[in-house]
Amino acid sequence: MDEFQDTDPEQWAILRTAFHGRPDESSALVLIGDPKQAIYAFRGADVVTYLQAVEDATDTATLSTSWRSDGPLLAGLHALLGETALGDPRIVVRPVDAAHPESRFSGGAPVRLRQVTRRAYRLGASSAPSAPDARGLLAKDVAADVASRLGTASGGGEHVVVQHPLQTVDERNFTPGALGVPGPFSHDDAAFAGARQARQKREPVGALVGAPLSLPTGAAVGREAGATATGGRPDVELDDLVRLLENAPRWFAQHTLDVGLVLEEEDVEDRLPLSLTGLAGWGVGDRVLRAALAGVDPNRAMQAEWRRGQVPPRELGRSALQEVVRAVGPLRVAAVEAAREADVAAGRPVSQDVLSSAETVDVRATLPDGGTVVGSVPGVHGARVVRTEYSRLGPKHRLRAWVQALALRVSDPDRPWDAVAIGRSPRGPGVAWSTLTPPDRDTAAAVLADLVALRDEAAREPLPLLPEVALRYAEERRTTDARDALMRAGWAWNKGFERKDPYVVLAWGQDPALPDLAGHATTADLGRFPDDPTRLGALARRVWDPLLEHELTRCAMSGPTSAPATPAGRPDRRCPDPSRGARGASTRSATCRAGRSCSRRAPARARRTPSRPSRRATSPRAWRRCPRSCS
């Protein structure tokens, strides 16, 4: 047992009972310690315990050679402290031999005494410097001496300071004598192999998969799927299909290659936060929203977050939580009104806490080719799916709602299904919500079957199908040609986060340009979309065109007054796109003469410069009633 001088009586009693005095020599108890170091009372340590153990020992030995200090230094210390008893006659400073008899430093005596006078502290004749002040003065002396010696060759210079490389695969770790030792500093086989590999010529990282993989039939079915449809064709899980549409490269890596990236985790902060930002802010908002949707009073939810200790202190935290509660309120109002309207339309009794009456519906959608999509859809009120998120309403939320609505239509075609996705406005305060009404059963089954076929393609190669950039392309493609649509999608790509996604980097390399990622359309793609020469363009239209044809997306400064669906084929009016600057900053709900709501913004006539809209452009008077065809 090392450092035994820091042992307390109870610890020694346990060790003595367990190990001391046993007849077999193989279980001897060896104690190592230096009583001269027992000055800390570390965790209740008692040096008398050490002395008692020495008396009980059958054999004792002393380490009489110092391998750290030079001979002149040891001689000077012995002249000062030799044969001195330190608090007990059994603790004596004895002479020690030096492994280095000569001094390895020059320029100064090996032992120096520092005299601390009253004058240095401007004290009177009856006062003395305090011990903490004296220790601080000595520390400064030592630091100054070390600094001066490190800067001179005679004081040690490079022999004292050895700069080690941070990388374990650095060649210097394996070069004899390079890091202050006669041989190599490291003997790690794996690191040595890495150092040898680092000498090889570096090739630029290209695409992970150059051509689609050859996979057996049915390989696109997830490993977790155990059920099979009629004829032995495996079922497709609804949630797995959604995961593909949310991030196709990640789905390919995890599903086909069975590869999951170990992402860097943020270090635990040892300081109090001063604001709610990033994932921390989203986590607080999401928990408060979930509590509010469950009927918990927002103030109680705010107090619960306060007690978590993850919010800024005092008034900063109170202000941040109040902002969260203010953002959650309209989201809950939107969810309640969407659910209440659906329950009324279905003839169901509407309770005070309408959100608690949500159901989970199991779906089994049979496709034209005999395949089946199975899963469960939560948050169903009557014939409507209501899903509310604290995040800003984005493409992923709309894709999930769309796939769920399609599956419900195919599984139960007799009910007038729709899906409402609710979130914060993409730009600024307020609420945004998307109402998706699936087409008739046969059309919905064809669209769903096409997404399942897309899943088979995604199992063979990472598809350039990312929600943000694909949506931007599909939206722009409705009003412009493929070249301009790809260019404008590139603006969103360069400013967004998808190009830095770890699975995008795995599939296409670091910071790929959108034209390189877009790829060339296949023969099948050109057969369906002859005017879209890129793979990205064809995939974007394949996924988003049917959705946009059956969607109504609106924004409001508060919760909606109603959530009607858009009939199939009607033009949709979407919330302002954050990537388009100030044009959408003041979007509000307008009202048609027919009493329906719409988010169409009338073009402002008085726009002086593109970068600085006029007051009229952001004034409510710049809004006008939308045409009857909008909803």
pLDDT tens digits along 279-329: 666 777 778 888 888 877 777 777 777 666 666 666 666 677 777 877 888
In-domain check, residue 96: yes
In-domain check, residue 526: no
Q: Are 465 and 252 in contact (CB under 8 A)?
A: no
Mean local confidence (pLDDT), 74-88: 87
Q: Are 84 and 93 in contact (CB under 8 A)?
A: yes
pLDDT at 629: 34
pLDDT at 216: 63
* d(C-alpha 338, C-alpha 562), whole Å: 7
Categorise residue 513: left if φ over 0, alpha if ψ from -120 to 50, beta otherwise: beta
In-domain check, residue 108: no
Mean local confidence (pLDDT), 394-414: 95
CA distances from 545 to 83, 446, 533, 549 (A): 93, 14, 17, 6
Return the exposure string of 54-71: e unless at least 16 CB atoms fall within 10 Å of the residue's CB, then b.
Answer: eeeeeeeeeeeebeebbb
Domains of the chain: total: 2
pLDDT at 44: 65
Nearest residue to 227 (alpha-carbon basis) of 236, 218, 238, 240 = 236
To which residue do tokens 């789905």 refer? 251
- Pair 92, 15 in one domain: yes
Of the segments 109-113, 302-306, 383-387, which one has the largest average pLDDT value? 383-387
- Candidate from 44-48, 70-74, 276-280, 564-568 with smallest mean pLDDT: 564-568
Enter the DSSP assignment of 159.
G
Nearest residue to 5 (alpha-carbon basis) of 54, 39, 50, 64 = 50
Domain that holds residue 15: 4-100
In-domain check, residue 182: yes
pLDDT at 431: 87
Encode pLDDT of 44-67 as tens digits. 677 888 888 888 888 888 888 998
Task: Identify which has the larger pLDDT, 2 or 627.
Answer: 2
In-domain check, residue 355: no
pLDDT at 234: 83
Mean local confidence (pLDDT), 260-265: 69
In-domain check, residue 599: no
- Mean residue pLDDT of the chain comes to 77
Last residue of a domain, one of 100, 133, 148: 100
pLDDT at 308: 67
Last residue of a domain, one of 100, 126, 144: 100
In-domain check, residue 44: yes
Encode pLDDT of 426-484 as tens digits. 877 788 889 999 999 999 999 999 999 999 999 999 999 999 999 999 999 999 999 99
Q: Are 98 and 74 in contact (CB under 8 A)?
A: yes
Last residue of a domain, one of 100, 124, 152: 100
In-domain check, residue 27: yes
To which residue do tokens 């369906």 refer? 528
Q: What is the 3-state secondary structure (H, E, C) of 180-221?
A: CCCCCCCCCHHHHHHHHHHCCCCCCCCCCCCCCCCCCCCCCC
Nearest residue to 77 (alpha-carbon basis) of 36, 134, 127, 21 = 36
Encode pLDDT of 572-619 as tens digits. 344 444 334 333 333 333 333 233 334 433 333 333 333 333 333 333
Residue 442: strand, helix, or coil = helix
* d(C-alpha 361, C-alpha 381), whole Å: 10
Is 107 a residue whose pLDDT tops 60? yes
pLDDT at 307: 66
